[in-house]
Amino acid sequence: MYEIMGSYGLGYGYMGLGLIFWILIIVGVLLVIKWLIEQGKTTGDEQQMTAMDILKARYAKGEITTEEFEETKKRLM
Protein backbone atom coordinates (compact mmCIF):
# COMPACT_ATOMS: atom_id res chain seq x y z
CA MET A 1 0.00 0.00 0.00
CA TYR A 2 2.81 2.40 0.85
CA GLU A 3 4.44 1.69 -2.46
CA ILE A 4 1.33 2.71 -4.45
CA MET A 5 0.91 6.01 -2.60
CA GLY A 6 4.57 6.84 -3.10
CA SER A 7 4.24 6.48 -6.84
CA TYR A 8 1.26 8.83 -6.88
CA GLY A 9 3.26 11.47 -5.10
CA LEU A 10 6.03 11.13 -7.65
CA GLY A 11 3.50 11.54 -10.46
CA TYR A 12 2.36 14.88 -9.11
CA GLY A 13 5.97 16.02 -9.02
CA TYR A 14 6.35 15.21 -12.70
CA MET A 15 3.15 17.10 -13.48
CA GLY A 16 4.62 20.16 -11.80
CA LEU A 17 7.76 19.88 -13.90
CA GLY A 18 5.65 19.55 -17.04
CA LEU A 19 3.68 22.67 -16.09
CA ILE A 20 6.89 24.62 -15.53
CA PHE A 21 8.22 23.34 -18.88
CA TRP A 22 5.15 24.59 -20.77
CA ILE A 23 5.19 27.94 -18.99
CA LEU A 24 8.83 28.40 -20.02
CA ILE A 25 7.97 27.47 -23.61
CA ILE A 26 5.10 29.98 -23.74
CA VAL A 27 7.20 32.76 -22.19
CA GLY A 28 10.00 32.01 -24.66
CA VAL A 29 7.64 32.21 -27.62
CA LEU A 30 6.21 35.52 -26.36
CA LEU A 31 9.72 36.96 -25.95
CA VAL A 32 10.65 35.93 -29.49
CA ILE A 33 7.48 37.55 -30.85
CA LYS A 34 8.21 40.74 -28.91
CA TRP A 35 11.78 40.78 -30.23
CA LEU A 36 10.59 40.33 -33.82
CA ILE A 37 8.13 43.22 -33.44
CA GLU A 38 10.89 45.44 -32.05
CA GLN A 39 13.16 44.52 -34.97
CA GLY A 40 10.43 45.45 -37.42
CA LYS A 41 10.14 48.92 -35.90
CA THR A 42 13.83 49.74 -36.16
CA THR A 43 14.55 48.53 -39.69
CA GLY A 44 13.91 50.46 -42.87
CA ASP A 45 15.75 53.46 -44.24
CA GLU A 46 12.63 55.55 -44.76
CA GLN A 47 11.84 55.57 -41.06
CA GLN A 48 15.19 57.18 -40.27
CA MET A 49 15.12 59.73 -43.09
CA THR A 50 14.40 63.37 -42.36
CA ALA A 51 11.76 65.31 -44.25
CA MET A 52 14.49 67.02 -46.28
CA ASP A 53 15.99 63.63 -47.24
CA ILE A 54 12.60 62.42 -48.44
CA LEU A 55 12.09 65.64 -50.40
CA LYS A 56 15.48 65.27 -52.07
CA ALA A 57 14.79 61.63 -52.91
CA ARG A 58 11.43 62.49 -54.48
CA TYR A 59 13.05 65.25 -56.53
CA ALA A 60 15.83 62.91 -57.66
CA LYS A 61 13.26 60.31 -58.77
CA GLY A 62 11.39 62.95 -60.75
CA GLU A 63 8.24 62.68 -58.65
CA ILE A 64 8.13 66.46 -58.09
CA THR A 65 9.14 69.44 -60.20
CA THR A 66 11.88 71.95 -59.42
CA GLU A 67 9.27 74.54 -58.39
CA GLU A 68 7.61 72.08 -55.99
CA PHE A 69 11.01 71.13 -54.60
CA GLU A 70 12.02 74.76 -53.95
CA GLU A 71 8.65 75.68 -52.45
CA THR A 72 8.61 72.71 -50.10
CA LYS A 73 12.25 73.27 -49.20
CA LYS A 74 11.44 76.85 -48.11
CA ARG A 75 8.57 75.56 -45.94
CA LEU A 76 10.81 72.98 -44.26
CA MET A 77 13.54 75.48 -43.37
Residue 58 has pLDDT above 80, yes or no: yes
Which pLDDT does position 1 carry in this prediction? 45
Which pLDDT does position 76 carry in this prediction? 85
DSSP per-residue letters across 17-55: HHHHHHHHHHHHHHHHHHHHHHHHHH--HHHH--HHHHH
More confident residue, 10 or 51: 51
CB neighbours of residue 55 within 10 Å? 19
C-alpha to C-alpha distance for 39 and 68, rounded to whole angstroms: 35
Q: What's the farthest any 2 CA atoms get from each other in the chain?
A: 95
Structural domain spans, the chain: 1-43, 44-77
The pLDDT tens digits of the residues spanning 4-45 come to 555 555 556 667 778 888 999 999 999 999 998 887 775 555
Which pLDDT does position 50 carry in this prediction? 86
